[in-house]
Amino acid sequence: MNDASSSMGETGVRYRVMTAAAMAAHALTDTEQSADSRLQTLMDAHGRMLAARGPHSPLTFSAFRDLLRQDLSLLLPDGVPAEEMENVCLITPDGQFDDDLYDLEQEQRLVMRTLAKAARGGRPVNGDALEAEMDQEKVYMALKKRLNQTDYVAGRSALIQYPAGPVSRLRKLNLPSTVADFYHPIEHASIYDRWWFACPICRWPMKVTITRAGTRKTGNVQCFHRPHRTMGAAYHFKIPGTGRPPTLIPAASAPPVPSGNASVLFADTRGAVPDPIPAENHVALTRGVWRWTTVPGLVEIDLHKALEARGLRSVLWPDLDAYDLHVEVGTAASSKTVFRIDLKDYSNAILLAKKIRADEGDAGGADWLVVPDYRAASLPLLSSVCKEFGLNVATAGDIGALVCEKAGVSWA
């Protein structure tokens, strides 16, 4: 067994344990489903968990149920290291399913697919799920079909800047129908009565939940992307009279604007309380396209615009998306510096490090791996892995500052 396939084996066990546990935790917390169907899902998930753990690690149904509220790594069979699953909980202290698990599941899948490619000939893990293409990949293929850089950039920018809105507006974006197919009616989880709310940062529908304390009910509205919640995309509302729209109130005071290099691209949510929007005739991108195209794309476009505003030459997604940003400083060949930037917004730094190792650097030829400023904490781990492959690492704010310094202009 080579490195890739042994690593794929353990990653595969973690992935299968995580997806079975997530399925169960979802059923456990979804009080809108009938008790019967929740129990049926829990039993199905328990069966999957036993299959993932293997015959030497039995787990009773009641132990399984109890562990769902604890550290996810406790569900792993002996001998499989916790890695990215350490300190992850499926259910939040207030009894809700933690939406961050979606990111973890998708990131594990991306890593496993890369490992599976690296270990060609190795036994595939959980083949069906791995081979199924993800929405964000299908959408890129559909955009690339035209083989025209201008159309590609226009289409991808549209997915980033208009992730949700009225159907009439979507038509004006002029997207190929194979791309427009990724817009669907607003999901039930984002609707209160007949209203939805756009995140002030990404414009995608936020999650709506109702919590009960005694007889009192409160509405909660927050972006599905944790960093956006942290930056202020979290609200609550008093239950309005029948037929009336709710009025959002910020859940906490928004964080202060950071100082230094991170201040330039910071999304300031103060003074931007979203209005209720009728869901009728409104559509939103599927979650995969929003999470992997819109969310990182916001930082890519902001960085690009900030560099252009400082008089620098910056090209988005060159060569139909070999990497994200091509920046040149200096004109004479002798003094020219080129930055080939790939931006990655993984919630889990361990998984991103594994992906880089499996790709042996950047698959598209970038020489800078850049993370959003809100992922600055992942830099130490990423730097040590990237060094092996000659890949430089920085936050978006710091790469902006570095490029500007080369060009002799000011960033922050």
Chain residues in the site for Zn ion (CB under 5 A) = 199, 201-202, 223, 225, 228
Q: Which is nearer to Zn ion, 129 or 191 (CB)?
A: 191
The residue among 219 and 361 lying less far from Zn ion, judged by its C-beta, is 219
State in angstroms the smallest separation of the CB of 21 from Zn ion: 26
φ, ψ for residue 79, nearest 5 deg: 90, -10
Shortest Å distance, C-beta 320 to Zn ion: 27
As measured in angstroms, the least distance from the Cβ of 372 to Zn ion is 12
Whether the Cβ atoms of residue 194 and residue 280 lie closer than 8 Å to each other: yes
| Residue with smaller CB distance to Zn ion, 42 or 223 | 223
Token pair for 37: 């169907």
Question: CB of residue 99 vs Zn ion: minimum separation in angstroms?
Answer: 12
**DSSP H or E segment with residue 195:** strand 195-196
216: β partners? 213
Closest by CA position to 141, among listed 180, 181, 179, 184: 179
Report which residue's Cβ sits closest to Zn ion: 199
Q: Which two tokens stand for residue 184?
A: 């669907």
Name which of 28, 129, 14 is nearest 72 in CA terms. Answer: 14
The residue behind tokens 């328990």 is: 46
Q: CA angle 60-62-65, nearest 5°? A: 110
Closest distance of CB 137 from Zn ion, Å: 22
Closest CA to 386 of 396, 374, 378: 378
Question: In the complex, what is the shortest distance from the CB of residue 309 to Zn ion, in angstroms, rounded to a whole number?
Answer: 23
Identify which of residues 112 and 202 has a Cβ nearer to Zn ion in the complex: 202
Nearer to Zn ion, 22 or 223 (CB): 223
Residue nearer to Zn ion on the CB measure, 200 or 246: 200
How far apart are the two ends of the chain, measured CA to CA in Å? 50
